Amino acid sequence: MNIFSKIYLCVLNWAESKYAIYWLSVISFLESFILPYPPPDLILAPMAFKRPKRAYFFALVCTLTSVLGGVFGYFIGIYAYELLLPFLQKMDYLQALEKAKEWFYVYDIWIIAIAGFSPVPYKIFTISAGILLMPLLPFILISLLARGLRYYLICFLVKKFGKSADVWLQKHIDTLGYVLIIIFILVIYVS
């Protein structure tokens, strides 16, 4: 069954669409405060692969719209936390939100850099920053730095290793996909 190969080829074809930049913008924005999946990286990488001359432009768009979404999440934390509490409970974000608060007390402002660059859910920290009334300007500046580093690094790696990575992925993507599903199930089971 080659389901992951088909999805991979579909995403590569979709990345060439004239609407791809708009979808990248929307997903980057929404992922910063609400969307659980997909991360913008999954759209950014194939776009950079298919159009390497525009890769860094795509990284810039992804960075700016992600940080705008982060600012929106910040204001959700300030003004709409009580209103959104039932939704956050339903999405099972409350435990992650409490953990984020603990990390803010330990790492202070640098937790935004960690969340912005790493695969940790950035949205939890954008909302937490608002709840904890983190100063807005440092929040924006660190978000720009962290998200920018992440997305520009992705584009750099795609430009540098794109062809060889594409060959490897086309050969192994189905195996990789099934292994990731098994790991995901095991993590859920162990948790």
Q: Is residue 127 part of a domain?
A: yes
Q: Is residue 180 part of a domain?
A: no
Q: Which amino acid is at 141?
A: L
Q: How far apart are CA 183 and CA 165, in angstroms?
A: 22
Which residues neighbour 87 within 8 Å (Cβ) at sequence distance 6 or greater? none
CA dihedral 180, 117, 34, 135 (to 10 degrees): 160
Confirm if 20 and 61 have CB atoms less than 8 A apart. Answer: no
pLDDT digits (tens, 9 = 90+) for 15-64: 788 899 998 999 999 999 987 767 888 889 889 988 899 999 999 999 99
Structural domain containing residue 80: 9-160
Q: Is residue 169 part of a domain?
A: no
Q: Is residue 191 part of a domain?
A: no
Which residues neighbour 124 within 8 Å (Cβ) at sequence distance 6 or greater? 93, 96, 97, 100, 115
Q: Check residue 152 and give its pLDDT.
A: 97
Q: Is residue 179 part of a domain?
A: no
Q: Is residue 85 part of a domain?
A: yes
Number of domains in the chain: 1
Q: Is residue 1 part of a domain?
A: no
Section 171-190 average pLDDT: 73
Q: How far apart are CA 115 and CA 117, in angstroms?
A: 6
Question: For residue 175, is pLDDT > 90?
Answer: no
Q: Is residue 165 part of a domain?
A: no
Question: For residue 1, is pLDDT > 70?
Answer: no
**How is residue 18 annotated by DSSP?**
T
Confirm if 114 and 107 have CB atoms less than 8 A apart. Answer: yes
pLDDT digits (tens, 9 = 90+) for 84-105: 788 778 878 788 778 878 888 8
Q: DSSP for 69-136?
A: HHHHHHHIIIIIHHHHHHHHHHTT-HHHHHHHHHHHHHHTTHHHHHHHHSSS-HHHHHHHHHHTT--H
Helix (H) or strand (E) holding 178: helix 136-190
